[in-house]
């Protein structure tokens, strides 16, 4: 069996750190020198850079991607009788945020082709929710694995039904839709700077990005214990959702590398696309869209056997996610009597391949060679 050209990492944070270590150390020193660990100048700097990159009109740095989801939801004053629609096949934080914000999550099935929220099922579930006496308020569209959800259809359904759209772009910073960057597609977007994300920090972090600034002021208050600008009086219920100056400085520096790294992710993905299309079911996306390639995920039968074989061949892979959320103990009470066939099917078939900007073409081709052998 041929060995990989060099050991392959699923995600390589070390190579990137070596490129920017000096700049990060200088940034840390600057924060130690000015001493404004919370609310230092790096926070506004990051927020301005995020707006400049994505085209969003406003940004709020947040303590995590989960907080970035909860902040605008809390700004909407959601109640238990309010329905928030979200895909059944996503990371658990999307659903936890809805429940923590005080609303009722309503799961929607995903589509076979793009693994993202199915707008037809969304319409059906909105009707069911109304029939149950819930008030439909919000759709959380998740850009799963980096691919933008079908915003054309989702925004149309939301507008027709009077719902707001919040994009969960935790996995899709760098994605494109109709000439717009993730962060400037839906009225409000949450993203994550968890270290393994395409734009990650050296710790937890996230941001809320506003195309429509309507929820900005209330969100800014929620992030800082619900206080107004004097920071003394709580004018609404909030919490500590701030991102600290050190972490903001890291993300500012990483954002400078981002476009070049995204270009390289696209080159790796082009190798995978070209070589794998006839052997596995790739996650597809529409004309006018581009993935941020937070992950590169395919679907295949005999997934577990294929994964084991790849591991033996030195190809690290990961399964996101082996269970749809309605099958998990925390969320099953919100999905009683409902089925999510496509989410169930994907949970048994998805496999994420190594994806990072420091993979070589030879490594990407090795992954393809071994995967093609493994699927037979
Ligand atoms: C789709 C999705 N939503 C939300 C989150 C939560 O982000 P964080 O881990 O930064 O809280 C993640 C993180 O992996 C995610 O993948």
Let me know whether 34 and 150 are in one domain: yes
Asked which of 220, 253, 286 is the last residue of a domain, the reply is 253
Q: Is the CB of 172 under 6 A from ligand 1?
A: no
Q: What phi, psi does 119 have (nearest 5°)?
A: -65, -25
CATH number of the domain that 352 lies in? Answer: 3.90.1150.10
* 55 shares its domain with 146: yes
Q: Are residues 211 and 265 in the same domain?
A: no
Residue 3 within a domain: no
164-168 vs 135-142, strand pairing mode: parallel
The residue among 293, 299, 314, 304 whose CA lies nearest residue 370 is 314
Residue listed under structure tokens 């989801």: 69
Closest approach atom of ligand 1 to CA 66: 11
Q: Looking at the structure, do residues 27 and 148 belong to the same domain, yes or no? A: yes
- Shared domain for 269 and 195, answered yes or no, is no
Cβ of 192 below 6 Å from ligand 1: yes
Question: What's the CA gap between 177 and 189, in Å, rounded?
Answer: 14
Say yes or no: CB of residue 186 within 6 Å of ligand 1.
Answer: no
The residue ranges of DSSP E strands in 45-157, in sequence order, are 58-62, 82-87, 104-108, 135-142
Q: Please give the helix or strand (H or E) that residue 168 lies within, else none.
A: strand 164-168
Choose which residue among 92, 175, 192, 207 to substitute to test ligand 1 binding: the one with the highest number of ligand atoms within 8 A of its C-beta.
192
Q: Is there a single domain that holds both residue 226 and residue 345?
A: no
Atom of ligand 1 nearest to the CA of 142: 1
Question: Does residue 245 share a domain with residue 267?
Answer: no
- Which pair of tokens denotes residue 36? 């404004």
Say whether both 268 and 230 belong to one domain: no
244-257 residues labelled b (16+ CB within 10 A) or e (exposed) = bbbbbbbbbbbbee
Burial of residue 282, with CB atoms counted within 10 A of its CB: 0-12 exposed, 13-18 middle, 19 or more buried:
middle
Q: The domain spanning residue 109 has which CATH number?
A: 3.40.640.10
Q: Are residues 249 and 262 in the same domain?
A: no
Q: What's the total number of domains in the chain?
A: 2
333 part of a folded domain: yes
- Tens of pLDDT along the chain (376 residues)? 678 889 999 999 999 999 999 999 999 999 999 999 999 999 999 999 999 999 999 999 999 999 999 999 999 999 999 999 999 999 999 999 999 999 999 999 999 999 999 999 999 999 999 999 999 999 999 999 999 999 999 999 999 999 999 999 999 999 999 999 999 999 999 999 999 999 999 999 999 999 999 999 999 999 999 999 899 999 999 999 999 999 999 999 999 999 999 999 999 999 999 999 999 999 998 889 999 999 999 999 999 999 999 999 999 999 999 999 999 999 999 999 999 999 999 999 999 999 999 999 999 999 999 999 999 8
Full domain range(s) for residue 337: 257-375
Select from 198, 233, 253 the last residue of a domain.
Answer: 253
Does residue 305 lie in a domain region? yes
239 and 292 in one domain?
no
Whether residue 228 is found in the same domain as residue 266: no
> Is there a domain that residue 185 lies in?
yes
Could you tell me the pTM of the whole model? 0.98
Beta strand residue intervals within 195-344, DSSP E:
206-210, 281-282, 289-290, 296-299
Helices 41-54, 245-276: crossing angle, 10 deg rounding: 30
Mutate to test the pocket of ligand 1, among 61, 70, 93 (most ligand atoms within 8 A of CB): 93
Domain boundary among 253, 283, 304: 253
The Cα-based distances of 353 to 39, 87, 189, 295, 338 in angstroms read: 38, 22, 26, 7, 31
C-alpha span between 91 and 88 (Å, rounded) = 9
CA of 375 to the centre of ligand 1 (A): 30
| Residue 194 Cα: closest atom of ligand 1 | 10
């Amino acid at each position: 069996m041929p060995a990989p050209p060099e050991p392959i990492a699923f995600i390589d944070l070390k190579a990137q750190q070596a490129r920017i270590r000096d700049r990060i150390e200088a940034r840390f020193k600057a924060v130690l020198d000015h001493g404004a660990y919370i609310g230092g100048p790096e926070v506004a700097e990051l927020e301005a850079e995020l707006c400049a990159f994505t085209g969003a009109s406003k940004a709020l740095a947040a303590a995590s991607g989960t907080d970035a989801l909860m902040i605008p939801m809390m700004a909407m004053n959601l109640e238990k009788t309010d329905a928030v629609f979200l895909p059944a096949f996503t990371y658990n934080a999307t659903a936890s945020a809805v429940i923590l914000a005080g609303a009722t999550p309503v799961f929607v099935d995903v589509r076979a082709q793009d693994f993202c929220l199915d707008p037809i099922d969304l319409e059906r579930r909105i009707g069911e929710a109304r029939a149950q006496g819930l008030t439909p308020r919000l759709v959380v569209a998740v850009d799963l694995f980096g691919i933008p959800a079908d915003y054309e259809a989702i925004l149309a359904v939301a507008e027709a039904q009077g719902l707001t759209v919040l994009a969960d772009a935790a996995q899709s910073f760098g994605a494109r839709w109709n000439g717009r960057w993730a962060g400037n597609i839906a009225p409000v977007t949450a993203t994550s700077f968890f270290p393994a994300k395409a734009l990650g920090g050296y710790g937890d972090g996230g941001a809320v990005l506003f195309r429509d600034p309507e929820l900005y002021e209330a969100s800014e208050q929620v992030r800082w214990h619900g206080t107004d600008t004097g920071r003394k009086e709580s004018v609404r219920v909030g919490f500590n959702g701030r991102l600290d100056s050190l972490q903001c400085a890291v993300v500012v520096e990483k954002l400078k590398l981002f476009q070049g790294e995204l270009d390289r992710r696209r080159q790796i993905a082009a190798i995978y696309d070209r070589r794998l299309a006839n052997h596995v079911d790739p996650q597809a996306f529409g004309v006018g869209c581009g993935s941020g390639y937070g992950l590169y995920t395919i679907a295949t039968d005999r997934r577990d056997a294929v994964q084991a074989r790849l591991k033996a061949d030195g190809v690290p892979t990961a399964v996101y996610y082996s269970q749809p959320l309605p099958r998990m103990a925390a969320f099953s009470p919100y999905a009683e009597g409902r089925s999510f066939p496509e989410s169930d099917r994907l949970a048994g078939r998805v496999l994420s391949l190594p994806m990072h900007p420091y993979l070589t073409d030879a490594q990407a081709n090795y992954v393809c060679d071994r995967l093609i052998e493994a699927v037979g």
